[in-house]
Amino acid sequence: MQLLQRTKLFAPFLPLLLCSAFCFNFIISQQVLSAEQKTEKKEKPEGKPKENKRYEYRAEHDPNGIGKFYLGREIAHVMGHPAAIWLERPEREKEEKLSLLIKLLELKPGMKVADIGAGSGVLTLQMAPLVAPNGKVVAVDIQKEMLVRLQNRLSRTGIKNVELHLGDNNSPRLKPNSVDVVLMVDVYHEFEFPYEMILNISRALKPGGRIALVEYRMEDPRVPIKLVHKMSEKQSIKEMTQPAFSLEHTKTIDKLPRQHLMIFTRK
Ligand SMILES: C[S@@+](CC[C@H](N)C(=O)[O-])C[C@H]1O[C@@H](n2cnc3c(N)ncnc32)[C@H](O)[C@@H]1O
């Protein structure tokens, strides 16, 4: 009864109350909407290349690259595992003198070597006997299929001192201070996160440990390789000696027919 009387009392003001509630709601929802739009605009600047401190993204780029640039160089697409057969081609020895490359690494029995971007293990298989019996080669790749292919090749040999290791785009996931020599053949230019990779690789090296970086010579137009899959010595040294890595460029050996062999030592 009391409730009925109160309702009657407010009845003349009901349209006014309803109207104010609607207006309040409308104003609040407009404010939320415009705040959302502002945030969206902040996150997606239109017409400008996406940038962060370390990497730059350009719309116009080499079709063989991923459109992501590091210190002015475009990063190449990763070579897919179906192309493993190309890595294993018999004429590679004549074109790249892999056996000379391995000799130049000066490996010794007992050493721990990481073959980063090992692919199907062409280099791993040649290095493993040189560090046996107590040393080993850790073959790192981000494609499981490559490691499976290497496992199959290993099972056809008597080689026992190879460890297969799945890395990721940022890190080979190796223990700190654990490796004597890191070999990277025809892979560095494909790293999607070169800064993070080299930072983690340098941490995995023992003090005095070495990185052997092997890249097709950009300076030589006769080297029959796509541009983004080549690197100049100058650019390689610039990228590999960023202060956080504590790496020193010790020497470049230009005895290979198509590639630079650049040695960096952990200080
Ligand atoms: C062109 S192949 C070279 C393989 C081998 N080094 C050789 O010369 O026979 C490059 C390999 O590097 C691997 N790769 C690319 N990015 C990598 C990364 N961040 N960490 C480890 N491996 C990577 C690819 O999956 C591919 O198997």
Q: Does 94 reside within a domain? A: yes
- 175-200: average pLDDT: 98
- For 184, the domain range is 89-266
- 166-177: average pLDDT: 98
pLDDT surpasses 60 at 13: no
pTM, two decimal places: 0.83
The enclosing domain of 131 has a CATH number of: 3.40.50.150
Q: Does 45 reside within a domain? A: no
Contacts of 124 (CB under 8 A, 6+ apart): 115, 118, 137, 139, 150, 162
> Which residue out of 66, 93, 116, 142 has the highest number of ligand 1 atoms within 8 Å of its CB and is therefore the one to mutate?
142
Q: Does 40 reside within a domain? A: no
Q: Does 68 reside within a domain? A: no
Give the distance (Å) from ligand 1 centre to CA of residue 118: 6
pLDDT surpasses 90 at 57: yes
Length of the chain measured in residues: 267
Give the distance (Å) from ligand 1 centre to CA of residue 147: 11
pLDDT surpasses 70 at 28: no
Cβ 212 under 6 angstroms from ligand 1: no
The reported pLDDT for the residue numbered 84 is 98
Please say whether the beta carbons of 208 and 179 come within 8 A.
no
The reported pLDDT for the residue numbered 53 is 85
Domain count for the chain, please give it.
1
Give the distance (Å) from ligand 1 centre to CA of residue 169: 11
Please say whether the beta carbons of 185 and 117 come within 8 A.
yes
The reported pLDDT for the residue numbered 246 is 98
Q: Does 203 reside within a domain? A: yes
Burial of 201 (C-beta count, 10 Å sphere; 0-12/13-18/19+): buried
Q: Does 17 reside within a domain? A: no
As a whole number, the mean pLDDT across the chain is: 86
Q: Does 129 reside within a domain? A: yes
Q: Does 205 reside within a domain? A: yes
